[in-house]
Amino acid sequence: KTNLPRSNIPAPKLELPGHHESYNPSYEYLLDDAEVEALKEKMESDFDENERQTKTLFIPKKYSSLRQVPAYDQFVYERFQRCLDLYLCPRQKRMKANVTDLNDLIPDKPKPQDLHPYPLVQSLIYEGHKSIIRCLSCHPSGQWLASGSDDCTVRVWEIATTRCMNVFTFDKPVVSIQWNPVLSLLAVATGTQIVMINPKLGENAKVIFTDEFIKQLTYESSTNDDCQWTKISEETDKYIRLTVTHSIPIRQIEWQARGDYLGCVAAPRSDQSQSKSICIHHLSKGRSQYPFKQLKGAVQHVRFHPTKPIFVIATQHSIKIYHLLKQQLIKRLYVNTKWISSIDIHPLGDNILCGGYDSKINWFDLDLSVKPYETYRYHKRAIRCVRYHSKLPLFASTSDDGTCIISHCSVYSDLLKNPMIVPVKILRGHQFSNDLSMLDCVFHPTQPWIFTSGADSTIRLFTN
Amino acid sequence: MSLQVRFITRLDKYSVPDSTLVIPSSSTNAQLEAILKGLLQSSVSSKELTRVSFDFLCLNQLIRSSLEEHIREKDESLLESVIDIEYIEKFQAPEPEDALMHDDWVSACRSLGDTILVGCYDTKVHLWNNQGEHITSLPGHTGPIRSLLFIHSDEGEHEFISGSHDQTILIWKYDQNKNSVQSLITCKGHQGTIEALALQKTCFASGSFDKTIKLWGLEEQEDKSATKECRVTINAHNENVSSIGWSSSNELISCSWDQSIKLWNMDTLQSTQTFKCGKAALSLDISPINGLLICGFTDRFIRLYDTRVQEGYVLRSTFSSHSQWVPNVMWSRTTEHLFVSGSYDSLVKLWDTRSLKAPLYDLQGHEDRVLCVDWSINSLILSGGADNSLKMFSFK
């Protein structure tokens, strides 16, 4: 039995005759005068004049035998009404959506031409690495770019001229780097170590202050049994200032916005305990804490909130938001993807982007609900990195299909208006190597430019 | 179709009688030149005629397509009336000369008299003479040199200024004959790398990545290796100040990565005008002859501005030919319409402002990005690049 709408609506069914239409009904079906009056009044009050014309008032009568039953006086009238029902009543056909112009179906979003500025063309290529570049970080001033690669080096580049200012070599591949937002310090995660380097670039005053600051820090080695903090003096090494040694290989590091706390994700093997997977290091005290001992699931990515003391942890299947001072779980977000690869928090702090290996991007509006506000399936293959721009309303996502898709996202401070997200540009450029092409992306802090790192050992800058 | 034309010129040597000619509308430069040379046969010797070559201007733009197409673009109604075509001597192509090799990227260059100053990423300032001989290398900075200015040089005594990544500016006095540095004054104060320098008679200004412009004096100092403080600091922009230039003795123009060009009155230290340009600006130069401003941008265009216009558009024209960022532009110091631009696509292009679609000449030779160009001396164009070479192009 299908639920398709029928093109003709059948006439209403006639009621089958019941007990009170019998020629010899039981006494209870007979109406006395008062009831007849009541019925007549009901007819007057409930139906208007036109409707009353179609209805007949039937009053049950009792006859002792069949030969006394007269002809039904309303017979012709009732037949007439039935005929009218059958052929005269309007049969309304179900209106189908008549789409003459398919363009009307496209949602009413602004055109990409109106949403400038955003990165458009590839401008510069930074060449020098010898292997896949896994991670990028842009200095807050916008003049230098640091990149870490599988060839165990970190290179610091001058953005305007693509000059490689400095190369730092380590023992193991570099998996994650980030510039400290406040000090002139670059944190590098290689193997089981986090190395903090002062590359001596940028404001002279800040460089000197950073060196002095670290020199006067004193670390008590007894507080940390698992992590070793060692300071390195100027005489031993010109650039490396600090190393923090773990026992498990590290996967990702992230500075907090004030530059004092460093969140660190380690990747323990499945037979090791998961309790040591997230560590928060306090730079000025030299302490390392493991606040999340009972975390279930392999941690993929962590982020600090830009303004509040909130920590967002993405495991394989869910995103959990913790308040660090109150030490409790605030929210748990239900994600649409099977395996989360990376997350990012909007600079204003109320929206979270989440990209997965099954090529879906989820946008969570924390004020709206714990389910994704929207899901985007623009990419064809796994998504490696999602990133917001810190000043402009843009976000980018890079994927294994060799594209980086830039989308415009206007987030309104009006609580009733939902964010408007419009994809504006697909950026291509990296060559494929071992099935990977674009790995990490980072926006310039102020300009509408984006740096992408690739498996072809180049970093490319796309400008507007 | 045929058009009525009249040839006019400012060249006294090659003048023709003022008569109207009828020529086919599909005439190009070659045909116009043939007609002109035919007219000049009577007054000019044939040897000179074969040597000289002409370029034609119609409606103040160089003719690069057929005459009809050129006029249709501007004003179709002129096809009916008599058209004035001005002819000028064609600007000769510059000839490439030697390339001077260095150890590292050449990021700044200047020429004065017969000396060439080169600033390099190996933190040294090199001096060469224009025969291609290396005079000396002067160490002094601790970071790559980004900007140079020549104050004066005569008979072996050179005075120049260099700005570098190490956030200091050095004022040098070097005597070539005695091979010694007479004085070296350090100007400290900037918090970021020095990106641009611009010279006046008694002072100079510097623009830096710390978003400020500082003004420094050029008085004689008693102590030959002193440290100088700046006279004035202007918090100019929100981003890197990529280039500055003086348009008059008390007006400074600066362009920046914050996508704006600002004019500063140095008496009040306030910005008198701001132009938004939508793309990060990388370089600017002001013509010493007519005060027009050209800027090179990250979107590969060079834009010409007239900052003195009170109403209407300040942006006069856009020159597009480069395929990469244009971090260097420089006007010719003597000719009104000519300028040179160097770009990351390893080409140096010589432009005439009257020809919008294409440059006059492409100076090829660099194998990597061009990081600096200079046209201080009329007969020499210098360009330095990331292939460690400084290339010289000369005119007769």
Interchain CB distance below 8 Å, B239 and A143: no
Q: What is the C-alpha separation between A170 and A138, in angstroms, rounded?
A: 20
The predicted-structure confidence for B51-81, as pLDDT tens digits, reads as follows 888 888 888 888 888 888 888 888 788 778 8
Give the amino acid at A428.
R
Q: CA B20, CA B224: separation in Å to the nearest integer?
A: 69
H or E stretch including A416? Answer: none
End-of-domain residue from the set B55, B89, B123: B89
Kindly state whether residues B100 and B244 are assigned to the same domain: yes
Considering the domain architecture, whether residues B269 and B331 belong to the same structural domain is answered as: yes
Distance from CA of B191 to the nearest CA of A (A): 5
3-state SS class at A119: coil
B297, B316: one domain:
yes
- The minimal CB distance from B192 to the residues A117, A123, A203 is found for A203
- In angstroms, the first-to-last Cα distance of chain B is 40
List all residues 6 or more positions away from A397 whose beta carbon is below 8 Å from its beta carbon. A353, A355, A361, A378, A379, A383, A385, A386, A387, A404, A405, A407, A441
Instruction: Check if B240 contacts A (Cβ < 8 Å).
Output: yes
B387 touches chain A (CB under 8 A): no
**Of A11-15, A377-381, B187-191, B268-272, minimum mean pLDDT range:** A11-15
Give backbone dihedrals phi and psi of A384, rounded to 5 degrees, phi first: -95, -35
Task: Outline where DSSP puts E strands in A316-449.
Answer: 318-323, 328-334, 340-345, 351-356, 361-365, 374-376, 383-388, 394-399, 403-410, 420-428, 438-443
More confident residue, A46 or B190: B190
Are B55 and B125 contained in the same domain?
Answer: no
Do B332 and B241 belong to one domain? yes
Across A439-459, average pLDDT: 93
B258 lies in the same domain as B137:
yes
CATH (one of 2.130.10.10, 1.10.630.10, 3.40.50.300, 3.30.450.20) for A112-463:
2.130.10.10
Tell me which residue of A408, A361, A363, A407 sits closest to A384, measured CA to CA. A361
A444: left (phi over 0), alpha (psi -120 to 50) or beta: beta
d(CA A194, CA A281): 10
pLDDT, one tens digit per residue, over A277-296 is: 899 999 888 888 888 888 88
Residues B132 and B211 in one domain: yes
Interface test with A, best of B193, B210, B212, B343 (most A CBs within 10 A): B193
Please name the member of A116, A123, A163 whose beta carbon is closest to the beta carbon of B325: A123
Residue of A nearest to B282 (CA): A160
Interface A-B: count of C-beta contacts within 8 A: 50
The dihedrals phi and psi of B136, each to the nearest 5 degrees, come to -160, 165
Residue B302, pLDDT score? 92
Dist. CA A407–CA A396, nearest whole Å: 6
Q: How many domains does chain B have?
A: 2
Does the structure show a pLDDT above 70 at A91?
Answer: no
> Dihedral angle at the C-alpha atoms of A62, A63, A66, A70, nearest 10 degrees?
-90
Burial degree of A330 (CB within 10 A; 0-12, 13-18, 19+) = middle
A459, pLDDT greater than 90: yes
> Does the CB of A316 have a partner CB in chain B at under 8 Å?
no
Predicted confidence band at A225 (pLDDT cuts at 50, 70, 90)?
A: low
Of A116, A141, A446, the CB nearest to B209: A141
Residues paired with B150 in a beta bridge: B160
Mean pLDDT of A111-130: 90
> How confident is the model at residue B93, as a pLDDT?
85
Q: Would the pLDDT of B3 be above 90? A: no
The CA-based angle B214-B216-B217, given to 5 degrees, is 160
Q: Is B164 on the interface with A (CB under 8 A)?
A: no
Q: Is B297 at the interface with chain A, CB within 8 A?
A: no
Q: Quote the ipTM score.
A: 0.87
Q: Among A247-256, A382-391, B152-161, which stretch is predicted with the lowest mean pLDDT?
A: B152-161
Q: Are residues B206 and B342 in the same domain?
A: yes
pLDDT category of residue A130 using cuts at 50, 70 and 90: very high
CB A54 within 8 A of CB A44: no
pLDDT digits (tens, 9 = 90+) for A298-327: 889 999 999 999 999 999 899 999 998 888
Q: How far apart are the first and last CA of chain A?
A: 58
pLDDT of residue A352: 94
* Residue range A444-451: mean pLDDT, rounded: 93
Sheet holding B83-89: strands in order across?
B20-24, B2-8, B83-89, B54-58, B61-62
Q: How high is the pLDDT of residue A129?
A: 93
pLDDT digit string, tens, across residues A25-73: 888 888 888 989 998 888 888 888 777 777 778 888 889 898 999 988 8
| CB atoms B209 and A143 under 8 Å | yes
Of B56, B72, B89, which closes a domain? B89
Same domain? For B25 and B117 the reply is: no
CA distance B100 to B264: 38
Interchain contact B328–A (C-beta under 8 A): no
Q: Which of B89, B115, B138 is the last residue of a domain?
A: B89
pTM equals 0.82
pLDDT of residue A345: 94
Residue scoring higher pLDDT (B314 or A309): A309
User: Shortest Cα distance from B192 to chain A (angstroms)?
Assistant: 5
Looking at the predicted structure, is the pLDDT value of residue A1 above 70?
no
Handedness of CA A148, A149, A155, A160 (dihedral sign): negative
Q: So where are chain A's domains?
A: 19-95, 112-463
- A97 or A425, which is more confident? A425
Best to test chain B binding among A118, A157, A203, A209 (most B CBs inside 10 Å): A203
Identify the H or E element spanning B81.
none
Instruction: Establish how many alpha carbons lie within 13 A of residue A384's alpha carbon, considering only the half-sphere containing its beta carbon.
Output: 23
A3-17, A129-143, A358-372, B211-225: which range is least confident on average? A3-17
- The pair of structure tokens assigned to A331 is 């929210």
Provide the pLDDT confidence category of residue B312 given band limits of 50, 70 and 90.
Answer: low
Q: Which residue of A has its CA nearest to B299?
A: A464
CA nearest B193 in A: which residue? A202
CA B57 to CA A126: how far, in whole Å? 43
pLDDT tier for residue A221 given thresholds of 50, 70 and 90: low
One domain for residues B77 and B129: no
- B299 with A124: Cβ contact below 8 A: no
Say how far apart CA A416 and CA A407 lie, in whole Å: 22
Specify whether B181 is located in the same domain as B39.
no
Report CB contact under 8 Å: B107, A123: no
The answer for B253, left when phi > 0, alpha when psi is -120 to 50, beta otherwise, is: beta
pLDDT averaged over every residue in chain A: 87
Q: Which domain holds residue B308?
A: 95-394
| pLDDT single digits (tens) B13-55 | 888 888 888 888 888 888 888 888 888 888 878 888 888 888 8
